[in-house]
Each structure stands twice: as C-alpha cells, then as structure tokens.
Amino acid sequence: MPELPEVETVRRGLEPVMTGQTIAHAAVNRPDLRWPFPPRMAERLAGAQVTALRRRSKYILADLSTGESLLIHLGMSGRILISGEMQGDFQHRHPAPAKHDHVVMTMASGARITFNDARRFGAMDLLETALGDAHPLLAAIGPEPFGNDFNETYLTQRLKGRATSIKSALLDQKNVAGLGNIYVCEVLFRAGLHPARPAGKLPAKDVAGLVPLIRDVLAEAIEAGGSSLRDYRQADGELGYFQHRFRTYGRENQPCTSSGCSATIQRIVQSGRSSFFCPKCQR
C-alpha cells in the first residue's frame, strides 16, 4: 500500500494540473470501490473548481469551490494518472479507456485525471471541507511527521509505558501519520533499534532520535518519487526510485550495507507484517 512519500509524490504531480482548475466533467464508471461512492458523485464534482490540493496521512484531499472536499485513498493498487497535459517537454496524450478506469475527471484545461484500481481497494468520498479532520477516516490520525506537533517531546510522552513493539508503535496512525511498513523498517535500521523492542522501555534519547530520522527517510523517499514495488506509479506514469536505496526492507538474507558489518538481513513477522533488520546493527 502506498505510504506517505508515494501519496505526497502523487499529490505534487496533481497540484499544477488541478489546483485553480475547474472539473468540466466527471465520470464514475462503477457504484463502488472499497465502499460505495457518495450519491451523485459525478454531478457534485462537475463544475467545481479545485481550490487546494492537500494530503493528510495517506489520503489526498481536493478542496472544492462547492464547500466539499474529494477524499482519495489509493488502496493497494490504485493509480492516478494525468493525460492531455504538458509535463516537462512531453505531452501525455489521452490513452484509450482501460478496464479498471473507475473515476475520470476532465478538467476545463483539457487535462484528464484518471483513477485506475485493478483490485478496488482504493476509496473516494466527498465530505464537508469545514468539518476538517472530523471525518471518521481522519479523526483519529496523529500528527504529520513534518509538522510542528510531531517533535521529540511529543513522541517520548506518547510512547512512554507502551508495551507494544517500537515497530508497531510507529505503524500506529494514531501516533504519527503516514508511516508504513517500508519506511518504519528503514527508520529503525538507521536508529539501530530492533523492531521487536518494547516502545515504552526505550531510553528517551533513543525515542527522541527517531523524529529527525523519520523526517530524513521520508524526505529522501519523496525526493526519489517514492518506492515502486508493485502497482505504484507517479502521476505522470513514472516509477519511483527509493527502492534502490533500501537498507533493510525486502533484503532478507542479503549482506548488511553498514561498513564493517558481516551480518545478513533477517526477517521476522510482527502482526502479520514482515520486519527486516540487521541482527548486529539493531539492538
């Protein structure tokens, strides 16, 4: 599932094409994805101007001139592609309609925004913009990792006394927004922390040290356009490249990349998810 860097990369790709532009026409080609689309969704989108395009955790939100916001979640295989718009030196012409093109928005500029999702685990909804984060999908999400509310003091207090593993604690969206399996594995490697260590028993300095590492890893991944493992593509159809910088994720039985370390990367399963780590570098 796309994590914060992938979602932010898609948002940045969509921003110059959607922000300030009017949705001239919208087509909804099926009744649902993960859950039913809101009533009259195509009608409610048509004619609306996109006033802002933002991200909250792993969700993209397009604020509309109608007072509603279009909430988008990519799910496991969802892709948002742009066509009919100049990107760099190239123009991406409109492709022929594909089987899994479930929602298509044609902008007044002529650009087309297509949501394609083969496995239909993605989602779209319309919510009142004024409600902010009160929507059920957003209400319990913790602070954004690049925001001022996410800091060393906050994370230390949040994890104090927690019996859960540090891996699970960082994956919990109530503690910090947007982190997923890939980037937590990479953060814990850089921090030298074993993923199974109890979060509440870590020294305060180790917890505090996670904050800049989380920001560094996410910033590097965004700069690389995210990580393309299966279905993920940027909005222009290109792959992300951060997977070429993985130090642990997906590298089971491969040599540790730390200088002077002779160990190999191991994998354990925590709450049904694979955790990759170096048994020598991470304690």
Q: Give yes or no: 5 in active site.
A: no
For the chain, the DSSP string reads ---HHHHHHHHHHHHHHHTT-BEEEEEE-SSBSSSBPPTTHHHHHTT-BEEEEEEETTEEEEEETTSEEEEEE-TTTEEEEEESEEETTEEEPPPPP-TTEEEEEEETTS-EEEEEESS---EEEEEEGGGGGGSTTTTT----TTSTTSSHHHHHHHHTT--SBHHHHHH-TTTSSS--HHHHHHHHHHHT--TTSBGGGS-HHHHHHHHHHHHHHHHHHHHTT---SSS---TTSPPP-GGGG-SSTT-TTSBP-STT---B-EEEEETTEEEEE-TTT--
- Point out the catalytic residue in the list 58, 112, 233, 251: 58
- Point out the catalytic residue in the list 2, 5, 145, 195: 2
- Point out the catalytic residue in the list 12, 44, 267, 273: 273
- Point out the catalytic residue in the list 3, 8, 68, 85: 3
Q: Give yes or no: 58 in active site.
A: yes
Torsions phi, psi for 24 (to 5 deg): -75, -35
CA distances from 112 to 154, 160, 274 (A): 42, 48, 37
Q: Give yes or no: 280 in active site.
A: no
Q: Give yes or no: 273 in active site.
A: yes
Catalytic residues: 2-3, 58, 273
